[in-house]
Structure 1
Amino acid sequence: MSKLYYDIFLAFVRVHLLHHAAEEPFYGAAMLEELQRHGYRLSPGTLYPILHGLEKAGYLSVEQAVVGGKARKYYRITDQGRTALKGVKPKLRELVEEVLGDLGPAGRSDPSE
């Protein structure tokens, strides 16, 4: 994987993490499964440094909880994270429309597909 592709890939992962944290708190292992459903193949060694970076930057907060005898860290979006996500969404929409065109109701750019 080229460095450019990898950098873009990680940016998509960060947006995905903020999006899910805005919906509800999550823990790392569950997010690995969620990301895998969307075709992202990440190891814990890749995901956790991203989560820690988002926390350190003030976009996520962490709360420890014991569930079934296991300590879990739940990640929640912060106000700063919500502001960042809100700012990213219009840019993401603009980029998708420019790069992929009008996807229409079926999610395809070409109605003949």
Structure 2
Amino acid sequence: MPDQALENEILRPLWKVHILHHAQQGPIVGHWMIEELREHGYRVSPGTLYPLLARMEKLGWLACCNPSRKKAAKEACPYRLTAAGRRALREVEARLKELTGEIRTKARS
């Protein structure tokens, strides 16, 4: 299990990449995303994830598939990836590819 500093400073921001990736594959809901992130070893709670989804929606990366469902607090709001979210994911993928290539090159030398 990673220490708290590693979790907070490096791993938690990667949640957003996972969310964008899965939203690209199809609509996601918070509860399912919590379970998916936990399967990858991330420690995530609803109190952390739902505000994150709301921020990603405010940034224009996600959109609620049925905005009228958001009004009812108990109903799940399926989120889909927007065009801006696709652009953000492509940018992250390119930078991660560059970074992992650099890490691999350094490891071989």
Q: TM-score if structure 2 supplies the norm length?
A: 0.80
Letter in 2 for 1:79: A
Residue 79 of structure 2 corresponds to residue 75 of structure 1: yes
- CA distance in 2 between counterparts of 1:17 and 1:10 reads 11
The equivalent position to 1:24 in structure 2, one of 20, 23, 26, is: 26
Preserved contact between residue 24 and residue 86 of structure 2 (Cα < 8 Å): yes
Q: What percentage of residue pairs aligned between the two structures are identical?
A: 44
Alignment length, in residue pairs? 98
Q: Residue 41 of structure 2 aligns with which residue?
A: 39
Letter in 2 for 1:75: Y
Post-superposition offset of 1:5? 4.7
Consecutive unaligned residues of structure 2, counting only runs of 5 or more, are none
3-state SS, counterpart of residue 53 of structure 2: helix
- CA distance in 2 between counterparts of 1:71 and 1:44 reads 14
RMSD: 2.1
More RCO (CA 8 Å, sep 6+): 2
Once superposed, which parts of structure 1, at least 4 consecutive aligned residues long, lie more than 6 Å away? none
Letter in 2 for 1:40: Y
- CA distance in 1 between counterparts of 2:18 and 2:84 reads 16
Letter in 2 for 1:53: R
Q: Residue 93 of structure 1 aligns with which residue?
A: 97
Q: Residue 10 of structure 1 aligns with which residue?
A: 12
Q: Residue 52 of structure 1 aligns with which residue?
A: 54
Higher helix share: 2
Consecutive unaligned residues of structure 1, counting only runs of 5 or more, are 103-108
Post-superposition offset of 1:16? 0.7
Q: TM-score if structure 1 supplies the norm length?
A: 0.77
